[in-house]
Structure formats: structure tokens, C-alpha cells
Amino acid sequence: MRVSFLLIATIVLLFEQVVGHDKKVVCYYGSWATYRPGNGNCEVEKIDPTYCTHAIYTFVGINEDATIRIIDPYADLPDNYGKDGFGKFNALKKINPNLKTLIAIGGWNEGSTKFSHVMNNPELRAQFVKNSVDFVLKYGFDGFDFDWEYPNQRGGIEEDKEAYIATIKELHEAFKPHGLLLSSAVAAAKSSASLSYLIPKMSPHLDIINLMAYDLNGGWNNYVGINAPLYPREDESEEIRGNLNVEACIKYWMDNGVDPKKVVLGMPLYGRSFRLVNKDNYKPGAPASGKGIGGPYSGEPGMVGLNEILEISNNGWTHYWEPEGMVPYMVKDYDWIGYENELSIALKTQFAMEKGLGGVMIWSLETDDLTGFSGQKFVFLKTINNILNGGSLPSTTSTPKPTTSTADPSISTTDPSIGTTGPTLAPGNICTKPGFVRDPDDCSVFYMCEESSDGSYTQYRFECSDGLYFNEDTEVCDYAENVQC
């Protein structure tokens, strides 16, 4: 049942509670946040595991010979004075003995091609299963998160759909004697999920199905849209209404036979940003010219963490509530961000409970409020647990304070999707239209072009991390082999 915004405004503030319920709270952690500067830095030691039932460390990769690849040995291992991310992550169980830790393989940057190659070959697939068991046991995790993005897409083939089922079946059987968990991160929207999954066959072989019910809108649109609207808007097309909102995603999966008790509803702790075509036309659905600003710490155009939004949101931004989708957005001149606040997170959590789901998931820990900028650390995880513990919806949300970013432009991240140094004003005449453009002489450098009212451009220079190039098709820093340079 939808709750009116006026009714919500009369309900008392949330209580601060830790896990005391029987639902899952699955918390992903992007290990590259260990390299982020200033308030965006999130070493494993900064994580408060008392608000999670399951924590997932991301990512390791897959090789064509079915071996598992550690992508960042310095961050993950103790060797050669490394940060020992694996060890410290599993040590969080000393703080929360009920916590289950998992290691995730895959993710967006790993793509589909190598997964498809391995999983469609029975011998390689069997070797992958053995390697997975050995890897999880060696490093002390409680389970494995299988994040193939996505079968039958992004270089995959039709046979991937059956190969995916065969893989999770064999993994589940191999994990069972060791008491290990198997989860999988899956596309939520019908437009993608229908291409990749044989949904009725999945539930018996997975302990948790992490439904990624976000990225339903983003800089790939030619209009502004909120990352994860809970419900559709009346003015949207029938196709969008039936596909690109959380309600539609859950309906599609449940209608296709998933076990709801194994599904956890994924929620984004980040917003999606756009550049408006007309700053006076800013309501959801208004024309956009592409991706907008990135956050001061994460540095990815088109994406801003909620921790970053807390810091910038009083600096000239006007905030709005979209009453149909039950989500907030904010506007400043030509910049537009659709995001989440405590109220929208609470409503999504409540929705998951109403649908009888197994719990909720966040992507990801490092963009919750790490420093207490809102008045309390990990405010969004606390909001989730408050609702799961039977607490009331928040009547208000934290009022962020104006701030000056502490991001250090000399420090870079290492995940390809966010691997940039901070922006600096750039001289010259690179820009001819709003948006992003790669440097004609250096593929690791790109510019964000911001049009002024007089038709001139301000251009901001970004530089990808070492070994990464700016991909003009996806507009993110990417591995060199994926980029035409």
C-alpha cells in the first residue's frame, strides 16, 4: 500500500537500532574505496558490521582457464606490506559473531565473455567450482557471491542461460558439505533479466538472490530519471511503467516463479546525475544532454554517493520530493541528481517486507555516511534496521551542512568504473558541446564540458588511474583492452 507523503510527515523520527530481526541485510563493500581521499575513504576498519547480517567483499575476477584472479593483491592480501582486505573483512566477525562474509566474483567491469567461455564448457565449469570452494575456504569467507553480468549479454551467448543454472547447481552441491553460502547478484528489470535468467530454475540452488533494483535510470537516458523509483509515474510510457521501477522489478521476478524468501531487494546508496537541456525544465522526464557531475571522492561522472550528496546538497541545490516514485531529487542550474534519503530507503525497506521478501541489500557500504556528517554514522543502514525492527518511518531526514570538499585531486582510485583523479579546470578549447570528451592526444585524460549562459564552455580535466583509458562508449575509465585508443 502506498503511504502519502503528508501522512509520512506526521510520523515520529526513527529509532537507532541494530540488527534484532530475522531478515537479511546484505551489505556490499567496494574495496577500491580504500584508496579514496578525505571523507570518502573507507578502509575495512571503518565498517560497522553490527547493522549487516551478510557482508560481501567485491571483487575478484575470472580467468579463461577457470582460475580465480585477485584483481588488487595490494588491497586484498597482506603480502609485501599489503592492506590485507580479505583478512580484515573476515575479522569483522569478531565484532559481530552473527555476520556472514562472502567474496564476490565478477561485477560490471569483468563483463560476460570469460564467464560464458568457462561456464559453457563442462570441464572448465567443474574446475571453476573446485577453484571456488578452495578459494573461499583458503581466505576464510563464509560463502561466494556469483556476479556474472550478464548471461547472454555483453559478449555472452544464448546457451549462457542454461550454463548459468548448471553453474549455480554445481556450486551449491559443492558448497553444501562445507556449510558455505551461495548468493548471486542479478539484474532486476525485465528488459535485462528476461535475456539472462531461467528464473524458475534458480531458487533451489541459491541461498540469497541479490536483486539489483537500481540503475533503472542513468546518463544513458536522454531524459532525467531517478536511479531507483519505487513506483511508476502516470506520465511515463506503458513500457517504462512496466519495467523501470522497483515495484515492476519485484512483480516480474515473482510472476516468473522466484522464491520471494530468497530474494533481497537491492537499494542504491548513491544517486544518478544528469545535465539538463533547459534548467527551467527539471521535473523527472525532462530532456537531458548526458551524465552529470561525479562525487568529490568517487569521481565517476553521472554517479554521486549518498555520503557525497550529504556534503554538497546545501551548496545551492534545491531539493524536491517526487510523490509518485517516492524518491527525492535535487537541482542546481543545469545539474540534476536523483538520489535516496532516509525516507525513500525506509519506504523501500517497508515495501520489501510487505512483499514477503527475505530482506534487503545495499550497494554499497562505503557510500553510507562514514563520518557522521548527517548527525549519525551509517544513517542509512540504521534506517533499514529500524524499519526491520518494527520502527516507524522517519518523518524528516537529516539536514546536511554546507561544506568544502576534502577530496585531494592528486589521489586516484583503482576500480576502473571510478578510476579518476579529481577534476581540475583545464585551459584550451577542447569542448564543443556539453558532456564528456576524451583528450585527442592522451586516452587516459578526458574532460567534462559545462556550457555557460553565453555559449562558452568551462572544461574540467580528469585523468584515469594508471593503466586505464577513458571509454568513449560507456563514458567511464576502463581497462585498456576494452578501449579503442
292, 238 Cβ separation under 8 angstroms: no
CB atoms within 10 A of CB 18: 15
CB atoms within 10 A of CB 192: 19
Torsion region of 111: left, alpha or beta (phi above 0 gives left; psi -120 to 50 gives alpha): left
Between CA 9 and CA 188, with CA 5 as vertex, the angle to 5 degrees is: 125
327, 229 Cβ separation under 8 angstroms: yes
Distance between CA atoms of residues 65 and 53, nearest Å: 34
392, 350 Cβ separation under 8 angstroms: no
**269: nearest Cα among 304, 302, 295, 313:** 304
**169: nearest Cα among 219, 216, 119, 213:** 119
Q: Report residue 171: phi and psi, to 5°.
A: -60, -45
Beta bridge mates, 57 = 29, 103
Distance between CA atoms of residues 369 and 341, nearest Å: 11
**345: nearest Cα among 292, 309, 294:** 309
Tell me the CA distances in angstroms from 423 to 233, 343, 468, one per residue in order: 35, 32, 16
Tell me the CA distances in angstroms from 287 to 243, 283, 325, one per residue in order: 20, 9, 18
- Concerning whether 149 is annotated as a catalytic residue, the answer is yes
**353: nearest Cα among 212, 244, 250:** 250
Output the nine-digit C-alpha cell for 434. Answer: 556539453
From the candidates 149, 322, 340, 475, which is the catalytic residue?
149
Q: Which residues are catalytic?
A: 149
